Amino acid sequence: MVQIFEETLDQGFFAPQRFEGEIADCEVAGSIPSDMDGVFIRVGGEFYYPPKFPNDAPLHSDGYISKFRFKDGRVSYQGKFVRTPRYQSNLAAGRNQFGLYRNPFTDDDAVKGVNGTVSNTAPMVHAGRLFTLKEDALPIEIDPVTLDTIGFHDFDGGWKSETFTAHPKWDPLTGDMYAFGYEATGLASDDVFFYRVDKHGNVAHEIRIKVPYVSVIHDFALTQEHVIIPFACYYTDMEQLRAGKIHWQWDRTLPSMIGIMRRDGDGSDLRWFRGPERCFMHVFNAQSVGNTVTLLAPFYNGNFFPFFPNIDGSPWDPSRAQGFVRKYTFDLGSRDDSWTEETLFDTPIVDLGKIDHRFMTLPQRIAFTTFADQTKPFDRERAGDTGRAPVNSYARFDLAEGKMTSFFAGDTHSLQEVSFVPRRGSSEEGDGYLIGTASDLAEMRTELVIVDAQGLEEIGRVYLPFRSSTQVHGYWWDAEELGLAEKEAQA
């Protein structure tokens, strides 16, 4: 995830533009597969007005949603800011009135009580509706045709947590969504509420648990039987927030925690496993087989985010901010509260990645992510010196064969998160396309690359005539999942 802070700098390629745009038919090189009928939707952001404090987190940028619509071998583009309460009240004031990342005590008095979420982390489609997500607030519903903001969504009152994760999961066998909110009953609260939401969008099951300490639970994993809840070392409490600090401090003396409980239970079976310092952000997938639970995840060695300070005052250590493809194994039959960790590939990777989502919770062998391939050229003269190795390649990891293959995007390019698009009519794992945006740092414009997900050869490229704001997460949805044909015809 080198890319999250690389690409939210306030200068150069990601300098704020306050720009919203639309292109009816984008410039294309190569070809656009005609079976791609759907949308690639991305969420990220930029600071519309500069941060109030220079040490604010790039994760606090104003949410922006953009959409590449694929149909009949052509691609259109649209991008808009999410009209959060923060965006609206800042625009009225003409400046940023909100303080540090998730610390309302540092906001201006004028916006006391205003929800400060930036909704800048991920898009979600469920029950035919589109949302933007940030883990400190409820989902915000977005019109999938216009990208206009509709408003906060609490599932007709069924969702009782004040917050909603940016990483919901789906059981591909039922279409049910599993999701949670942490700090569920207010700032720095130790409540986590888990929900199953059925495929019609109704809350069907709730589990309330407490965490041993309040930490970022950015993602979780789902199996056919269990939910897996990883968090580590990031810490907050009201005292720290009242003292005007940024929401998270890194305390390496705290144990890394992974909780496991039945997904259909009442939380009383929740077990906490403990381990050494790691930074848990995203997961790939997980499975339960008998008493054995396995988790595949690109976890880091230590504090990944330089803007969340080490509580012991030590400087941020980039050598620990390395992610790898890792496998974690838990034995629910044993009383032992530890896990085993295997690092499956020694290539350092960016922890934003994807699996073929049709295999979520199921046995699965392919994982996709981005990485910095240092054997490939970088044209510093044209692209400028970024100060670190550019994230220039996609990786495809075949876990069964222990094999990694890659795709190189170009010698002036930096890639954002990769997304997987299944090939229509094929149910084979990993058969489809990889898509994602690339920043051409020399031409100062954004491209969308389309790559064969098996051979990793380029198929086509879409050129935007401008640099788009940074992306955190992006996903593909087929047109039917959003009822797009009908909604576009009505608009």
> Site residues for ligand V55, window 279-308 (CB under 6 A)?
281
Min separation Cβ 60 and ligand V55, Å: 8
> Site residues for ligand V55, window 126-185 (CB under 6 A)?
135
Count other C-beta atoms under 10 Å from residue 155's C-beta. 18
Of the pair 38, 298, the CB lying nearest ligand V55 is at 298
Q: How many whole angstroms separate alpha carbon 415 and alpha carbon 372?
A: 9
Of the pair 56, 135, the CB lying nearest ligand V55 is at 135
Q: Which of 137, 472, 479, 484 binds ligand V55 (CB under 6 A)?
A: 472
Min separation Cβ 432 and ligand V55, Å: 25
Min separation Cβ 282 and ligand V55, Å: 7
Min separation Cβ 361 and ligand V55, Å: 22
> How many residues belong to the site for ligand V55 (CB under 6 A)?
9
Q: How many whole angstroms separate alpha carbon 327 and alpha carbon 7?
A: 29
CA-nearest of 470, 482, 488, 449 to 30 is 449
Cβ contacts of 383 within 8 Å, gap of 6 or more? 390, 411, 412, 413, 441, 442
Confirm if 174 and 196 have CB atoms less than 8 A apart: no
CA-nearest of 86, 112, 136 to 247 is 136
Of the pair 218, 461, the CB lying nearest ligand V55 is at 218
Min separation Cβ 46 and ligand V55, Å: 12
Of the pair 1, 449, the CB lying nearest ligand V55 is at 1
Confirm if 404 and 365 have CB atoms less than 8 A apart: no
Q: Name the residue with tokens 């051409």.
A: 440
Of the pair 171, 219, the CB lying nearest ligand V55 is at 219
Q: What is the DSSP string of 144-206?
A: TTT--EEEE--TTTT--SS---S--EE-TTT--EEEEEESTTSTT--EEEEEEE-TTS-EEEE
CA-nearest of 475, 427, 448, 470 to 125 is 475
Q: Is 218 in the site for ligand V55 (CB under 6 A)?
A: yes
Backbone torsions φ then ψ of 170, nearest 5 degrees: -120, 140
Q: Is 120 in the site for ligand V55 (CB under 6 A)?
A: yes
Of the pair 121, 369, the CB lying nearest ligand V55 is at 121
Min separation Cβ 238 and ligand V55, Å: 19
Min separation Cβ 135 and ligand V55, Å: 6
Amino acid in the structure at residue 250: W
Min separation Cβ 382 and ligand V55, Å: 30
Min separation Cβ 192 and ligand V55, Å: 16
Q: Which residue is nearest to ligand V55 (CB)?
A: 59
Confirm if 446 and 409 have CB atoms less than 8 A apart: no
Q: How many whole angstroms separate alpha carbon 353 and alpha carbon 1?
A: 9
Confirm if 350 and 378 have CB atoms less than 8 A apart: no
Min separation Cβ 218 and ligand V55, Å: 4
Would you call 10 helix, strand, or coil by DSSP?
coil
Q: What is the DSSP string of 30-56?
A: E---TT--EEEEEEEEE-SS--SSTT-
Binding mask 264-283 for ligand V55 (x = CB under 6 A): -----------------x--
Of the pair 231, 397, the CB lying nearest ligand V55 is at 231
Q: Where do contacts with ligand V55 occur on this chain (CB under 6 A)?
A: 1, 59, 120-121, 135, 216, 218, 281, 472
